[in-house]
Amino acid sequence: MGLSLSPLALIVLLACLTAFHQCNGNPFRKNNPFHHHHHPRFAKHNYRDALTKSIMFFEGQRSGRLPSNQRITWRRDSGLSDGAAMHVDLVGGYYDAGDNVKFGFPMAFTTTMLSWSVIEFGGLMKGELQNAKQAIRWATDYLLKATAHPDTIYVQVGDANQDHSCWERPEDMDTPRSVFKIDKSSPGSDVAGETAAALAAASLVFKRSDPTYSKLLTRRAIRVFQFADKYRGPYSNGLKKVVCPFYCSYSGYQDELLWGAAWLHRATRNPTYLNYIQVNGQILGAAEFDNTFGWDNKHVGARILLSKAFLVQRLKSLHDYKGHADNFICSLIPGAPFSSAQYTPGGLLFKMSDSNMQYVTSTSFLLLTYAKYLTSAHQIVNCGGTRVTPKRLRTIAKKQVDYLLGDNPLKMSYMVGYGPRYPQRIHHRGSSLPSVANHPAKIQCSAGFNFMKSQSPNPNILVGAVIGGPDQKDRFPDQRSDYEQSEPATYINAPLVGALTYLAHSFGQL
């Protein structure tokens, strides 16, 4: 059937087309500098709400004495004598996941990624910038305590095996708060290199707002990196019994030395670090084809970070890092030559069954960050003849984040508290046990398992927690005992903060 319009309707239509801005009702189109890149004008998701929640989650993971502005109010003070066993003050920091141990290796990586999120996208964060900085400072204050003594880093508080034999709130902990360290005789270049990276990255976050604190972080990062480089060895050699299998350093320590040097180069602009990277890059695995970026392996992150120095600062000597970064990108592009990544039938990047979502969030962050660098240098990625534009990288990242937020076969958000349907029984002590406010009496070690085994939803909502996620067939049982799929972790959320900031801004939500 043909469409016929009355003369009046035609005039109205023409007027509308001419004055497109007035009729399409989108106030963000004109003044949004990202609008020319991509994206329809209306987002399916409230990325700003997800961003707020993704940062709030860190407050639920806090150890130590909680501040008066604590927003996750079912938590209380905990671990107030941490470090006392070794006569050091190790109060504070974060519980990495659903238990009550403070593991320094993933905590440092979380700090680096939260800092990188702010470094790249903090200018777009508006009101959330302050919250993100507080989340970083909660970690760096602790890392400064852990590195207070030269050539020594306190890398863990709590005995994981004993902690895991109880199911209790952090406020009730009575398992040993044993303290473990690395030093000259029992080195750990991996955890030391990551700690140096965290301190260096955070120094950039505070450079303008708190220059004194920023300088302290830089000085400490330099000292810690020297220790990492001079006394080489993986920390899981000397501390195997306590860090394995939880946070064993499977990828070795070379990636952390390269990563730590890359962050110090960015933070200090000291040519010493550029020279270090040029001399040691190949030995430290710069060109390896390991395409997994997470708390254990930093090679891909170092490649992307160093490619910026070539692309944006025109440091010709780092030319190879663009090629190394491109190799990683090509591994992700479905259908491109050299593509090796696996995706679930619903479209989720799938790296491994245990806590897969950490690879989804870290990869999405790297895609958006690399797209930013490529755009400013007017470059693309060439995958064996297939041209891959920054826009394509952003589209892939957005698809991954959208899946996480609910665009998936189960229509389930994998962020607690976001959207109409999300996991109810996450593997997390504090969330699954009655809060101190509702149950002031101590819940003993083994008594907690009754709550762990129950089918009831968790009584306390750990807002913003992103959990391990679905299996490779997009299935998710929502079982509390299933830590591989149901446990949240700080290093899942940290890179997501940057990705959500970018998406919220590009849709005019910030």
Decide if 265 is catalytic: no
- Pairwise CA distance, residues 269 & 281, whole Å: 17
Backbone angles phi, psi at 94, to 5 degrees: -125, 145
Q: Which residues of 392-423 are buried (b: 16+ CB within 10 A; e: fewer)?
A: bbbebbbbbbbbbbbbbbeebbbbbbbbeebb
Pick the catalytic residue: 427, 428, 474, 505?
Answer: 427
Structure tokens at 89: 């003050």
Residue type, 377: A
Helix, strand and coil content of the chain, in percent to the nearest 5, comes to 50, 5, 45
Decide if 37 is catalytic: no
Pick the catalytic residue: 320, 478, 482, 484?
Answer: 478
CA–CA distance from 488 to each of 60, 104, 357, 493 (Å)? Answer: 11, 17, 9, 8
Do the beta carbons of residue 14 and residue 379 sit within 8 Å?
Answer: no
Considering Cα of 235, then 241, then 244, then 250, what sign does the dihedral take?
positive
Do the beta carbons of residue 334 and residue 443 sit within 8 Å?
Answer: no
Cα 379 to chain centroid, rounded: 26
Tell me how far apart the terminal alpha carbons of the chain are, to the nearest angstrom.
Answer: 44
What single DSSP character describes residue 52? H
Residue from 244, 226, 225 nearest 235 by CA? 244
Residue bearing tokens 């970018």: 502
Considering Cα of 130, then 135, then 138, then 143, what sign does the dihedral take?
negative
Q: DSSP for 358-399?
A: HHHHHHHHHHHHHHHHHHHTT--EEETTEEE-HHHHHHHHHH
Do the beta carbons of residue 233 and residue 198 sit within 8 Å?
Answer: no
Decide if 288 is catalytic: no
Q: CB count, 10 Å around CB of 127? A: 10
Residue bearing tokens 């005995």: 159
- 3 state SS of 3: coil
List, in sequence order, every beta strand (DSSP E) within 384-470.
386-388
Q: Which residues are catalytic?
A: 427, 478, 487
